[in-house]
Structure 1
Amino acid sequence: MTAEVGHSGWVRALVRLAPARIQWERVVLAAIGITVPVGLTLLINPHNATVLGAGALASMGALVGSVMDTGSAGAERVRKIALVTAAASVGFALGTLVYGHSALTLLAVIAATLVSGLSGSIGPVTSKAGLYFLMYAVTAANADFGLHSPWLAPLLFFAGALWRLCLTAVSAALIGVTLSPERRVVAQVYKALATQLEAQAGAAANVAGVKLTTALDDAYDTLVASRTHITARDTRWQDLVTILNASAPVVDAAIAMATKQVIPEKDAIVFLRGIALWIADPKAALPELAEPPVADSSSAEARALRAALERVNRVASQISASDSERSEQLVDLDLPATQSFADLLHRMERPLSAGAETWRFVGRLVLCMAIAQGLSLALHLDRPYLVMLTVAQVMKPDFGSIFARAVQRGFGTLIGVAVAALTISMLPLGGWQILVILLLAALVPITMPRNFGLYSAITTSLAVLLVEIHAGASSGLVDSRVLDTVLGCAIVLLIGYLPWPATWRAPRHLAANVAGLVRFVARYAGIALVDSAGQGSAAASSEERAAAARRATYRQLSDMRTLVARSLSEPRTADAAAAWMLEIAALERVTDAITAAATTEAASAVAINRRDAERAQAALMELAGAIDAGQAPRPLTAATAGSLALLDDEISSAREAASAWSMHRTRQRRGVRSRRESGAEH
Structure 2
Amino acid sequence: MSVPGPEGAVDEPGTREPAWWARAARPDRPPLPRALMVRAALGMALPLFAGLLLDRLDLGVFAALGAMHATMNDRVEPTRLRAPRIAAALSASTLGMLVGAALQHHGAGALAAGLALTALAFASGAVSATGPRGSSAGMLLLVSASLGGGMALPDPWWTGAAMLPVGAALVVLLGLRYRVRPATDPRNRALADAYRALGATLADLGTPRGADSRRLLTARLNQVQDLLPHTRPGRPESDRRRRLRRMYEAALGATEAATGLLWARRKVPPEVAAFPEALARAVTGGPLPGYPAWQPGTPALKALDSALRAAAATVAGEDVRLGTAPVPPPDPWRLRARLLSPVSVRYGLRVALCIAVAEAATAGIPLSRSYWVPMTVAFVLKPDLGSVFLRAVSRAVGTVLGIAVTAVLLALTTDPWALAVAVSLCVALLPYSTAAHYGLNTAVMTPVALILVQLGGESGTSVFWPRVLDTVLASAIVLVFGYLLWPERPPHRIEPRLVDAAGALREYLASVVEERPAPVSEVWLRRSAYRALAHARQEVAQGLAEPPPAGRLAEQWVPATAALERLSGAVAAYAAQIRYGGHVPEPAEAARVFAALDHLTDAARAHRPPTGPAAGPTTPHDPARSALTRAADELDALLDRPAG
Q: What residue is the counterpart of 1:667 in the other structure?
A: none
Q: What residue is the counterpart of 1:287 in the other structure?
A: 289
Matches within 5 A, 1:498-537: 498-503=484-489, 506-507=490-491, 510-528=494-512, 530-531=513-514
Alpha-carbon deviations, 1:76-118, whole Å to 9, x = none?
A: 1111111111211121112222212225433431332122021
Q: What residue is the counterpart of 2:127 in the other structure?
A: 119
Contact 1:635 1:652 in 2 (8 A): no
Pair 1:449-2:426 in alignment: no
Contact 1:65 1:85 in 2 (8 A): yes
Q: What residue is the counterpart of 1:588 in the other structure?
A: 565
Counterpart among 166, 171, 196 of residue 191 in structure 1: 196
Contact 1:183 1:280 in 2 (8 A): yes
Q: What residue is the counterpart of 1:309 in the other structure?
A: 308
User: Structure 2 vs 1, CA of residues 174 and 445 (structure 1 numbering), >3 Å: closer, same or farther?
Assistant: farther
Contact 2:249 2:322 in 1 (8 A): no
User: Structure 2 vs 1, CA of residues 39 and 422 (structure 1 numbering), >3 Å: closer, same or farther?
Assistant: farther
Matches within 5 A, 1:555-566: 555-566=531-542
Q: Which amino acid aligns with 1:157?
A: L
CA distance in 2, matches of 1:243, 1:540: 28
Q: Give the SS at the match of 1:397.
A: coil
Q: Which amino acid aligns with 1:351?
A: L
Pair 1:299-2:285 in alignment: no
Contact 2:205 2:262 in 1 (8 A): yes
Q: What residue is the counterpart of 1:666 in the other structure?
A: none
Q: What residue is the counterpart of 1:322 in the other structure?
A: none
Matches within 5 A, 1:138-153: 138-145=146-153, 147-153=154-160
Alpha-carbon deviations, 1:151-180, whole Å to 9, x = none?
A: 232223332222223223x24x44478771
CA distance in 2, matches of 1:244, 1:344: 25
User: Structure 2 vs 1, CA of residues 607 and 2 (structure 1 numbering), >3 Å: closer, same or farther?
Assistant: closer
Pair 1:97-2:80 in alignment: no
Task: Name the stretch that deviates more: 433-442 or 461-470.
Answer: 433-442
Contact 2:40 2:428 in 1 (8 A): yes
CA distance in 2, matches of 1:635, 1:203: 19
CA distance in 2, matches of 1:233, 1:600: 35
Contact 1:187 1:275 in 2 (8 A): yes
CA distance in 1, matches of 2:161, 2:599: 57
Contact 1:515 1:624 in 2 (8 A): yes
Q: Which amino acid aligns with 2:491?
A: P
Q: CA deviation at 1:188?
A: 2.1
Counterpart among 311, 315, 339 of residue 351 in structure 1: 339
Q: CA deviation at 1:419?
A: 0.6
Contact 2:122 2:348 in 1 (8 A): yes
Counterpart among 596, 608, 611 of residue 585 in structure 2: 608
Contact 2:28 2:436 in 1 (8 A): yes
Pair 1:265-2:269 in alignment: yes
CA distance in 1, matches of 2:481, 2:337: 29
Counterpart among 12, 31, 46 of residue 21 in structure 1: 31
- Larger Rg, first or second structure (1 or 2): 1
Q: Which amino acid aligns with 1:159?
A: V
Q: What residue is the counterpart of 1:388 in the other structure?
A: 374
Q: What residue is the counterpart of 1:536 in the other structure?
A: none
Q: Which amino acid aligns with 1:115?
A: A
Compute the TM-score of the two structures, normalised by the length of structure 2.
0.87
Q: What residue is the counterpart of 1:247 in the other structure?
A: 251
Pair 1:201-2:226 in alignment: no
Alpha-carbon deviations, 1:565-612, whole Å to 9, x = none?
A: 111222242112233233322221121111112112211223233322
Q: Which amino acid aligns with 1:549?
A: L
Q: CA deviation at 1:333?
A: 8.6
CA distance in 2, matches of 1:275, 1:238: 18
Contact 2:188 2:244 in 1 (8 A): yes
Task: Name the stretch that deviates more: 56-65 or 14-23.
Answer: 14-23
Pair 1:160-2:167 in alignment: yes
Q: Give the SS at the match of 1:448.
A: helix
Contact 2:410 2:461 in 1 (8 A): no
Matches within 5 A, 1:421-440: 421-430=407-416, 432-440=418-426
Q: Which amino acid aligns with 2:297?
A: S
Q: CA deviation at 1:417?
A: 0.6
Q: Which amino acid aligns with 1:16?
A: R
User: Structure 2 vs 1, CA of residues 392 and 253 (structure 1 numbering), >3 Å: closer, same or farther?
Assistant: closer
CA distance in 2, matches of 1:266, 1:195: 11
Q: CA deviation at 1:346?
A: 5.3
Pair 1:75-2:80 in alignment: yes
User: Structure 2 vs 1, CA of residues 230 and 406 (structure 1 numbering), >3 Å: closer, same or farther?
Assistant: farther
CA distance in 1, matches of 2:276, 2:481: 55
User: Structure 2 vs 1, CA of residues 314 and 175 (structure 1 numbering), >3 Å: closer, same or farther?
Assistant: closer
Q: What residue is the counterpart of 2:61 in the other structure?
A: 56
Contact 1:224 1:337 in 2 (8 A): no
Q: Give the SS at the match of 1:449.
A: helix
Q: CA deviation at 1:206?
A: 0.7
User: Structure 2 vs 1, CA of residues 275 and 628 (structure 1 numbering), >3 Å: closer, same or farther?
Assistant: same
User: Structure 2 vs 1, CA of residues 619 and 433 (structure 1 numbering), >3 Å: closer, same or farther?
Assistant: same
Task: Name the stretch that deviates more: 426-435 or 587-596.
Answer: 426-435
Q: What residue is the counterpart of 2:44 in the other structure?
A: 34
Matches within 5 A, 1:220-259: 220-224=225-229, 233-259=237-263
CA distance in 1, matches of 2:611, 2:246: 43
CA distance in 2, matches of 1:607, 1:331: 22
User: Structure 2 vs 1, CA of residues 405 and 633 (structure 1 numbering), >3 Å: closer, same or farther?
Assistant: closer
CA distance in 2, matches of 1:306, 1:509: 40
Q: Which amino acid aligns with 2:21?
A: V
Q: Give the SS at the match of 2:435.
A: coil
CA distance in 1, matches of 2:596, 2:530: 20
Q: What residue is the counterpart of 2:11 in the other structure?
A: none
Q: CA deviation at 1:66?
A: 0.4
Contact 1:91 1:136 in 2 (8 A): yes
Q: Give the SS at the match of 1:476.
A: coil
Q: CA deviation at 1:448?
A: 0.7
User: Structure 2 vs 1, CA of residues 220 and 511 (structure 1 numbering), >3 Å: closer, same or farther?
Assistant: closer
CA distance in 2, matches of 1:373, 1:204: 50
Task: Name the stretch that deviates more: 469-478 or 236-245.
Answer: 469-478
User: Structure 2 vs 1, CA of residues 361 and 609 (structure 1 numbering), >3 Å: closer, same or farther?
Assistant: closer
Structure number having the greater helix percentage: 1
Counterpart among 591, 595, 598 of residue 575 in structure 2: 598
Contact 1:38 1:56 in 2 (8 A): yes
- Fraction of identical pairs, as percent: 25
Contact 2:592 2:632 in 1 (8 A): no
Gaps of 5+ in 1: 320-327, 533-538, 661-682
- Work out the number of aligned pairs and report it: 620
CA distance in 2, matches of 1:619, 1:197: 30
Counterpart among 469, 472, 478 of residue 483 in structure 1: 469
